[in-house]
Amino acid sequence: MTAGILARWADRLPSLGPATPRLSLGEGATPLVAAPRLAAAIAPGVDLHLKFEGQNPTGSFKDRGMVLAVAKAVEAGAHAIVCASTGNTSASAAAYAARAGLQAFVLLPKGAVALGKLAQALQHGARVLAVDGNFDVALRIVQDLAARHPIALVNSVNPHRVEGQTTAAFEIVEAWGEAPDALAIPVGNAGNISAYWLGFQRAVTAGAATRTPRMLGFQAAGSAPIVRGHPIDDPHTVATAIKIGRPASWRTAVAARDESGGAIEAVSDEQILRAWSQLARLEGVFCEPASAAGVAGVAQMHARTPFAPGTRIVCVLTGHGLKDPDRAIACAPTLAEVAADITAVERALLG
């Protein structure tokens, strides 16, 4: 197991002190892979790369922020942590709580969490409740709960979460000795786009890069409060991870967009699922549907006004495809059955 982000990036994490436990499940150091076949399909000429955050220990980018948030909770003497979640935060919180010997409490929006994520939270021993309401309602409740009890809140309103997530930007800069031209990323509660922007700025301050990228954020069309300019009371999308109507980091996401000369746009569920399928079939990368929003967004922008040839864009693939096996199976043709016989198999496969 690698040492993880607290060991690797100690000098870039201001809140990490000598008394902070160096907790790790081997998070970070995720693949940054070129995607030429996908680029040819959606944005010819673009130098497209994928930062596959599904390779983190619990299968999503959440581990980067969670390891620091839980380490700081341990340092502060907490015995329990709590979060609301569309799924990935809860899986990560449950795993790092187990690793650190803490109790995790989790509130999930009833019926709106992908199967793999729920399995993780339960298997790691979190106390899980399905709230009769959406993510935004659950987040408000856990904030109240953390205010009334000695339980550390580990949603991205916790600044240690955002700080830990800056390390993904450091890794991208480290790979090239410079920032890319643009970063394309799904936006839900808006913590991650805020973290990348902070990370790229800190990389420049540290002398690791000379410039920052344009930040391109993408919300699902049915859950696009930042694009619409107002909260959405009843958000909907197949990309359950980003089914969020009142993003906690709304203002910092807008600042990241504006300060970077970027954009935050909406992409339809159809566009998201198409990009999700193209990632799997053209590049062999299986991410969860929400993670494909950045790719869908690059395709949308390129179709409207092509990026200049050679523009280097990194799409952040935030979570692993195995998180949501139900969606993959629902989108696939029905499995054909065949007799246990070579002739029958030949006929079925080769026509």
**Contact residues: ligand AN7, CB under 6 A:** 60, 85-89, 156, 186-192, 241-242, 288, 290-291, 318-319
For ligand AN7, give the closer residue by CB, 35 or 142. Answer: 142
The CB density around residue 343, as the number of other CB atoms within 10 Å, is 8
Give the nearest distance from C-beta 290 to ligand AN7 in angstroms. Answer: 4
Rounded CA separation 113/239 (Å): 10
CB of 17 to ligand AN7, least distance (A): 25
Here the tokens at position 213 are 């990228």
In the complex, least distance from residue 109 CB atom to ligand AN7, rounded to whole angstroms: 9
Cα torsion 229, 112, 274, 298 to 10°: value is: 40
Q: How far apart are the first and last CA of the chain?
A: 46
Q: From 171, 216, 156, 184, select the one nearest 291 (Cα to Cα).
A: 184
Measured from the CB of residue 155, what is the shortest distance to ligand AN7 in angstroms? 7
Q: How far is the CB of 320 from ligand AN7 (least distance, A)?
A: 8
Q: Which is nearer to ligand AN7, 155 or 300 (CB)?
A: 155
- The partner residues of 183 in beta bridges, in order of sequence, read 215, 314
> Residue 21 or 268: which CB sits closer to ligand AN7?
268
Q: How is the beta sheet containing 103-109 ordered, strand by strand?
A: 127-131, 103-109, 80-84, 152-153
Shortest Cβ 191–ligand AN7 spacing (Å)? 4
Nearest to ligand AN7 of 106, 173 (CB atom): 106
Q: What is the DSSP string of 206-220?
A: TTS-S--PEEEEEEE
CB-CB contact of 270 with 261 (8 Å)? no
Spell out the residues 6+ positions from residue 269 whose beta carbon is closer than 8 angstroms to its own.
220, 221, 222, 237, 238, 239
Task: Tell me whether residue 214 or residue 311 sits nearer to ligand AN7 (CB atom).
Answer: 214
For ligand AN7, which is the closer residue by CB, 153 or 311?
153
Q: Report in angstroms how near the CB of residue 207 gets to ligand AN7 at its nearest.
A: 27
Residue closer to ligand AN7 (CB basis): 38 or 138: 138
Instruction: Name the minimum Å distance from CB 14 to ligand AN7.
Output: 20
Question: How far is 333 from 349, CA to CA, in rounded Å?
Answer: 14
Give the nearer residue to ligand AN7 in terms of CB position, either 39 or 187: 187
Cβ atoms within 10 Å, residue 330: 9
